[in-house]
Chain A
Amino acid sequence: MAEADPDITDSPLGQYQKRKSVFPKAVDGTFRRLKWAIMVVTLTIYYVTPWLRWDRGPYAPDQAVLVDLAHRRFFMFDIEIWPHEFYFVAGLLVMAGIGLFLVTSAVGRAWCGYACPQTVWTDLFQHIERAVDGDRNAAIRLQNAPWGVSKIARRLLKWSIWLAVAMGTGGAWIFYFADAPTLMHDFLHGTAAPVAYMTVFVLTMTTFIFGGFMREQVCIYMCPWPRIQTAMMDEKSLLVTYRHWRGEPRGSLKQAQAAAKTGAGTIGDCIDCNQCVAVCPTGIDIRQGPQIGCITCALCIDACDTVMAQVGRPRGLIDYVTFEDATREQAGQPTTPVLKTLFRPRTLAYFAIWGGIGLALLFALGNRTRLDISAQHDRNPLFVRMSDGSVRNAYTVKLRNMESRPRTVRVHMEGVPQASMWLGETGSREAASRAFEVKLSPDAVTKLRLFVVSPAGDGSRQEFALVVQANDDAAPSDRHDLVLERGGE
Chain B
Amino acid sequence: MAENKRIDHPTGTETVGHEWDGIEELNTPLPRWWLWTFYATVAFAIGYCVVYPTIPSANGAPGGNLKWSSREELEKTLAARQAELKPIHAALAATDISALPGKPELMQQAIAGGAAAFKVHCVQCHGSGAAGAKGYPNLNDDDWLWGGDLATLEKTIADGIRQPEHDATRFSQMPAFGRDGILQPAQVEDVTSYVRTLSGQEGMSASARRGQALFAANCVVCHGPDGKGSRTVGAPNLTDGIWLYGGDRDTIRQTITNSRYGVMPAWNLHLDTVTIRMLAAYVHSLGGGEAAPAPAPAPAGATAAATPAETANGGG
**Interface residues, chain A, with chain B CB atoms under 8 Å away:** 1, 5, 7-8, 10, 12-19, 214, 217, 221, 378-381, 384-389, 392, 394, 424-425, 428-429, 449, 451
Please report the C-alpha to C-alpha distance between residue A96 and residue B195 in the assembled complex, in whole angstroms: 75
C-alpha gap A217/B14 in the complex (Å): 21
How many residues in B have their beta carbons less than 8 Å from beta carbons of A? 40
Q: Does B91 interact with chain A (Cβ within 8 Å)?
A: no
Given A13-B13, A19-B32, A221-B34, A424-B142 contact (CB < 8 Å) = no
Q: Are B129's CB and A381's CB within 8 A? A: yes
| Beta-carbon contact of A451 and B287 below 8 Å | yes
- Among residues 32 to 47 in chain B, which have CB atoms less than 8 Å away from a CB atom of chain A? 32-35
| Contact call A429/B140, Cβ cutoff below 8 A | no
Q: For A17, A19, A451, which residue has the most chain B Cβ atoms within 10 angstroms?
A: A17
Q: Decide: A17 and B131 in contact? CB cutoff 8 A.
A: no
Decide: A381 and B29 in contact? CB cutoff 8 A: no
Q: Which residue in B7, B129, B141, B285 is a CB contact (below 8 Å) of A8?
A: B7
Q: Smallest CB–CB gap between A208 and chain B, Å?
A: 15
Q: How far is the CA of A179 from the CA of B311 in the complex (A)?
A: 57
**A15 vs B240: C-alpha distance when bound (angstroms):** 88
Instruction: Collect the chain A residues with CB atoms within 8 Å of residue B128's CB.
Output: 380
CB distance from A409 to the nearest CB of B (A): 20
State which of B30, B104, B288 has its C-beta within 8 Å of the C-beta of A17.
B30
Between A and B, 23 residue pairs with Cβ closer than 8 Å are: A1-B3, A5-B5, A7-B9, A8-B7, A14-B29, A15-B29, A16-B29, A17-B31, A19-B32, A378-B129, A380-B127, A381-B127, A381-B131, A381-B138, A381-B140, A384-B141, A385-B242, A387-B241, A387-B315, A388-B240, A388-B241, A389-B240, A425-B108
Question: Interface readout for B300-316 with A: 1 if CB under 8 Å, 0 if not?
Answer: 00000000000110010
Per the 8 Å Cβ criterion, residues 116-142 of B in contact with A are 127-131, 138, 140-142
Is B298 in the interface zone, CB < 8 Å from A? Answer: no
Report yes or no: B30 in contact with A15, Cβ–Cβ below 8 A: yes
- In the complex, what distance in Å separates the CA atom of A7 from the CA atom of B17? 13
The answer for the CA separation of A392 and B127 in the assembled complex, in Å, is 18
5 nearest A-B residue pairs (beta carbon): A380-B129, A387-B240, A381-B131, A17-B29, A389-B241
Within the complex, the shortest CB–CB distance from B132 to chain A, in Å, comes to: 9
A17-B29, A19-B33, A424-B285 given as contacts; is B241 within 8 A of A385 (CB)?
yes
Task: Encode B12-32 as 1/0 by CB contact (under 8 A) with A.
Answer: 011000000000000101111
Check if A1 sits within 8 Å of B29, measured CB to CB. Answer: no
Chain A min CB distance to B201 (Å): 11
**How far apart sit A450 and B27, CA to CA, in the bound complex (Å)?**
70
Shortest CB–CB separation between residue B164 and chain A, in angstroms? Answer: 30
User: Is there an interface contact between B29 and A387, defined as CB atoms closer than 8 Å?
Assistant: no
Q: Which residues of B contact A379 (CB under 8 A)?
A: 129
Given contacts A5-B6, A12-B5, contact A384 B138 (CB under 8 A): yes
Residue A1 contacts which of B1, B14, B108, B127 (CB distance < 8 angstroms)? B1
Residue of B nearest to A451 (CB): B287
Which residue in chain A gives the minimum CB-CB distance to B312? A387
Question: Most B CB atoms within 10 A — which of A12, A13, A384?
Answer: A384
B4 lies within 8 A of chain A by Cβ:
yes
Report yes or no: A387 in contact with B141, Cβ–Cβ below 8 A.
Answer: yes
What CA separation (Å) do A12 and B26 show in the bound complex? 12
Partner of B4, one of A1, A14, A387, A425: A1
Q: How far is the CA of A389 from the CA of B239 in the complex (A)?
A: 11
Asked if B237 is at the interface of the complex by the 8 Å CB criterion, the answer is: yes
**CB atoms of B131 and A384 under 8 A apart:** yes
A16 B142 Cβ-Cβ under 8 A: no
CA distance A10 to B11 in the complex (A): 13
Given contacts A1-B3, A10-B7, A378-B129, contact A16 B287 (CB under 8 A): no
| Chain A residue at smallest Cβ distance from B129 | A380
Cβ distance B229 to chain A, nearest Cβ, rounded Å: 11
Q: Is B143 an interface residue (CB 8 A)?
A: yes
Alpha-carbon gap, A194 to B287, bound state (A)? 45
- Chain B residue nearest to A426 in the complex (CB): B104
Assess A13 versus B129: contact at CB under 8 Å? Given A1-B4, A381-B140, A385-B141: no
Task: Give complex CA distance A16, B34 in Å.
Answer: 9
Chain B residue with minimal CB distance to A209?
B33
Say which residue of B14, B30, B129, B285 sits within 8 Å of A12 (CB atoms).
B14
Which listed residue, A7, A13, A214, A451, touches B29 by the CB 8 Å rule?
A: A13
- Report B-chain residues with C-beta under 8 Å of the C-beta of A385: 138, 141, 241-242
Q: In the complex the two chains form, is A425's CB within 8 Å of B241's CB?
A: no
* Contacts beyond the supplied A8-B5, A386-B242: 10 A-B pairs with Cβ under 8 Å: A15-B29, A16-B31, A17-B31, A18-B32, A381-B131, A387-B142, A387-B237, A387-B240, A388-B240, A394-B287
Instruction: Report how far A451 CA is from B286 CA in the complex, Å.
Output: 10
Q: What is the bound-complex CA distance between A148 and B13, given in angstroms?
A: 37
* Residues of chain A within 8 A of B131, CB atoms compared: 380-381, 384
| Chain A residues with CB under 8 A of B14 | 12-13
- Residues in B with CB closer than 8 Å to A8 are 5-7
Nearest chain A residue, comparing its CB with the CB of B131: A381
Within 8 A of A (CB), among B231-267: 237, 240-242
Q: Give chain B residues whose Cβ lies under 8 Å from the Cβ of A17.
A: 29-32
Most buried by B among A214, A387, A392: A387
Chain B residue at smallest Cβ distance from A393: B287
Given A7-B6, A378-B129, CB of A386 within 8 Å of CB of B32: no
What residues of A have a CB within 8 angstroms of the CB of B312 in the complex?
387
Find out whether the CB atom of B287 lies under 8 angstroms from the CB atom of A424: yes
Asked if residues A429 and B1 are in contact (CB atoms below 8 Å), the reply is no
Q: How far is the CA of A307 from the CA of B31 in the complex (A)?
A: 34
- Give bound CA distance, A18 to B9, whole Å: 21
Q: CA separation between A192 and B311, bound complex, in Å?
A: 59
Contact B33 A217 (CB under 8 A): yes
B24 to chain A, nearest CB (A): 11
A13 touches B6 (CB 8 A): no
In the assembled complex, the Cα of A221 lies from the Cα of B37 at a distance in Å of 13
Contact (Cβ within 8 A) B29 A217 = no
Output the least CB separation between A473 and chain B (Å): 28
- Complex Cα distance, B286 from A378, in Å, reads 11
Contact B1 A388 (CB under 8 A): no
0/1 string, B72-93, CB within 8 A of A gives 1: 0000000000000000000000
